[in-house]
Amino acid sequence: MLKPENTQLAPDGDPFELITIQNAAGTTATFMDWGATWLSLEFPLADGNKRELLLGCETPQGYVNQSAYLGATVGRYANRIAKSQLTIDGQSYALVPNQGENQLHGGPEGFNARRWTLLSRSAQAVSFQLLSADGDQGYPGNMTAEVHYRLTDDHRLEIRYQATVDQPCPINLTNHAYFNLDGEGHDARKQTLQLFAERFLPVDSDGIPCADLTPVEHTGLDFRAPKTLAEDFLRDREQQRVKGYDHAWLFNRTCNSAEHPAAHLWSADGKVKMSVFTSAPALQVYTGNFLRGTPNRSGAEYENFQGVALETQFLPDSPNHPEWPQPSCWVKPGQSYRSQTVYQFFAL
């Protein structure tokens, strides 16, 4: 359980604000206004015990002192943009880089590093809003973003994003929670994953797309049938470049609705299942290849591979690849960006 540490102040000099919601069945989820961060998901098992399913820090201050984006809302553009460059209608924009020459998750002062305004809260829901000024991290236009979290009685954590801009701008919001359905301290690669995706996007050692969408067949990135993350770990050059799984898969078209799951994840001990539903076209799977040194819930540090992130989003560097078979990530004045993801948990 996260220690509130109310005496701690956020980087802006004001206290962190924590909000906990709970359903009738005893699942609790905790959030923080700094980064609109999802801090915790405590889930009742079939035997009556509760299990923490998210990686997290001991105190709110711990989230400021880490670079793994634990549970944060990331934007304006999640994932990487090559050479920190955008071009639309003949106009080029230089973004602020924060991973070599590239930009990752919206830049060095992305949405994860901001205080969001608490819009509303109830017993089972909480909403946040953020205003991002023209030129923020290099992006064009003033932007208003909202994220709405809701916990249902059937253990669905629903996340809804919406945003508007007054100049054309790419938008790609996601949550960067790391899951370990076996609880703290276990090797997340022992979990079993299934993805309803036929193609993935190859990347170079910097995580930048380096080839066209590629069939998963006959590769270690084939999760069409359930298998552990460990089974084919580092089997092929695609993974070796980035020290594990850190790739985007393009979902089958039937996945982009609330009726058809896009992914399933099972705990190694067979006690918990998580299903992912999303309107987003793709999923980034990251096996925590560089987690070592990130502060954990006990005041110590995580090791590599102790959590897996399942980030629903557009494909990385999409603003520079209009040819990819997905909706446009560019939002224009008068339009609204909307995206929804549901993580549903089951006790087995």
Angle at 309 between CA 94 and CA 199, to 5 degrees: 75
Known catalytic residue: 231? Answer: no
Tell me whether residue 6 is in a domain: no
pLDDT tens column, 157-200: 999 999 999 999 999 999 999 999 999 999 999 999 999 999 99
Tell me whether residue 298 is in a domain: yes
- At residue 255, the pLDDT reads 81
What CATH number is associated with residue 177? 2.70.98.10
User: Is the pLDDT at 89 greater than 90, yes or no?
Assistant: no
Tell me whether residue 10 is in a domain: no
Find the catalytic residue in 146, 158, 238, 311.
Answer: 311
Burial class (CB within 10 angstroms; exposed 0-12, middle 13-18, buried 19+) of 202: middle
At 3, is the pLDDT very low, low, confident or very high (cuts 50, 70, 90)? low
User: Is the pLDDT at 283 greater than 90, yes or no?
Assistant: yes
Tell me whether residue 143 is in a domain: yes
Known catalytic residue: 146? Answer: no
DSSP label of 95: P
Burial class (CB within 10 angstroms; exposed 0-12, middle 13-18, buried 19+) of 12: exposed
Tell me whether residue 129 is in a domain: yes
At which residue do the structure tokens 């079993």 appear? 192
Tell me whether residue 11 is in a domain: no
State how many domains the chain has: 1
- At residue 206, the pLDDT reads 96
User: Is the pLDDT at 121 greater than 90, yes or no?
Assistant: yes
pLDDT, mean over the chain: 96
Tell me whether residue 178 is in a domain: yes
Find the catalytic residue in 105, 176, 247, 264.
Answer: 176
Provide the β-strand partners of residue 125: 150
User: Is the pLDDT at 6 greater than 60, yes or no?
Assistant: no
**Mean pLDDT of the 244-250 span:** 98
pTM of the prediction? 0.96
Domain span holding position 214: 18-347
Q: Where are the beta strands (DSSP E) in 180-241?
A: 192-195, 197-201, 214-215, 227-228
Tell me whether residue 229 is in a domain: yes
**Mean pLDDT of the 316-335 span:** 96
Angle at 37 between CA 58 and CA 125, to 5 degrees: 115
At 150, is the pLDDT very low, low, confident or very high (cuts 50, 70, 90)? very high
Taking the C-alpha atoms of residue 253 and residue 226, their distance in angstroms, rounded to an integer, is: 19
